Amino acid sequence: MNLTQQDRKWAEQTVEKIRAKMHTVAERCGDKVPYTTKDGVFDDRSGSEDISWWTNGFWGGMMWQMYCLTKDDMYRMKAESLEKKLDAVLTNAAGLDHDNGFKWLPTAVASYRVTKNESSYNRAIIAANNLAGRFNLAGSFIRAWNDWGGVDHRGWAIIDCMMNLPLLYWASEVTGDPRFKQIATAHADTAQRCFVRDDGSVNHIVEFDPFSGEMIRTYGGQGFKVGSSWTRGQSWGLYGFVLSYIHTKDEKYLNTSRRIAHYFISNTPESGLIPVDFRQPAECAWEDSTAAAIAACGLIELSKHVEGRDSDVYLNAALKLLKALDEKRCNWDDGADNLLEKCTAEYHSDEHEFAIIYGDYYFMEALLKLTGQELFIW
């Protein structure tokens, strides 16, 4: 990576700040499965009502990253404990969905990559089989969500799912069975055709007729409205397509990721701080730091896979996002459990701008990518 000496120094110093803070936070966190904080203290999603929550793998991913960085067994044991807690989800059909990748890539697959543990392999293969089983042949898409809130989701697909495909790529790699990868690329092709707009922005939700496969409509989803540009959705698409390129070497996925990246870069405000939706009303100042951290990870990967000037453009765009987070949106006080501030789950919600665990995960991953110390999770 073409980091200047100054940027390398900044990245190394930031990793040191993460290392110092995480030691205190992880010790204090005990056996929790955190999602957000209340007054700076992590909540705990490990109860039977909450254990299926889609973000429950990220703390495990942070613990694996920290274990690989420090070789401190405290982190490995915490990651392994969290992975076992997720077994309650593997045996509950209603808790399994398109987000199996988010739950078991940073936990079971990470564990298998590091330890070659057979139980972790077993969990991840069960999760991959279930994810593959969500594929709808008619529309060639992986179904998002189970039915909740009285809504029929049989024909719904979401851009976020691009980040779950690596569970299928991994399953094909380790089993030698091409079915998983075939399903992943079929879904990625549909996403490329139906989610990515001409200007490089992406839809959050696309609904298909689950019987004929015909595309019916799009929804604004967690963004401002239909046709708007939910920033975390842009980030999932940007990072997700470059990951499909990494696993398949098919240039069309690289080019799709680049188109989304160009749109993201040209809409990034001078401050480097990212709004919840690039098309939210001008008077709305809500931010989403998670979108910035995820986009930075995707941009760093892009910078590794293209040559020359473009590589620098992606790397510099990632640095701008990460430095803005470090300087203005990181809580470096080790009395608070979270790293990032001002994360937003969705535009139309009562709560905005709080701590969210996947923001912390991707911020950590991005910094470790820069210093070459990342455990590759996806």
Q: Which residues bind ligand GLY (CB under 6 A)?
A: 54, 160, 222, 232, 345
In angstroms, the CA 171 to CA 121 distance is: 9
CB of 58 to ligand GLY, least distance (A): 11
Question: Can you count the helices (H) and strands (E) in the chain?
Answer: 14, 7
Nearer to ligand GLY, 21 or 204 (CB): 204
Cβ-contact 353, 35 below 8 angstroms: no
Q: Cα(300)–Cα(305) distance, rounded to whole angstroms? A: 9
**Distance of closest approach, residue 104 Cβ to ligand GLY, in angstroms:** 15
CA dihedral (274, 280, 286, 291) positive or negative = negative
33: helix, strand or coil: coil
Look up residue 92 and give its amino acid: N
Closer to ligand GLY by Cβ: residue 121 or 354: 354
Identify which of residues 222 and 256 has a Cβ nearer to ligand GLY in the complex: 222
| Dist. CA 206–CA 196, nearest whole Å | 11
DSSP 330-364: B---TTSS-SB--B-S-SSSS--SB--HHHHHHHH
Q: Which residue is nearest to ligand GLY (CB)?
A: 160
Which is nearer to ligand GLY, 366 or 370 (by Cβ)? 366
Q: What angle do CA 166, 340, 78 make, to 5 degrees?
A: 60
Helical residues (DSSP H) of 195-307, grouped into ranges: 231-248, 251-267, 289-305
CB of 78 to ligand GLY, least distance (A): 24
Cα 78 to chain centroid distance, Å, stands at 21
Question: Whose Cβ is closer to ligand GLY: residue 291's or residue 367's?
Answer: 291
Active site residues: 99, 160
In the complex, minimum distance from the CB of residue 322 to ligand GLY, in angstroms, rounded to a whole number: 19
- Shortest approach of ligand GLY to residue 307 CB, angstroms? 31
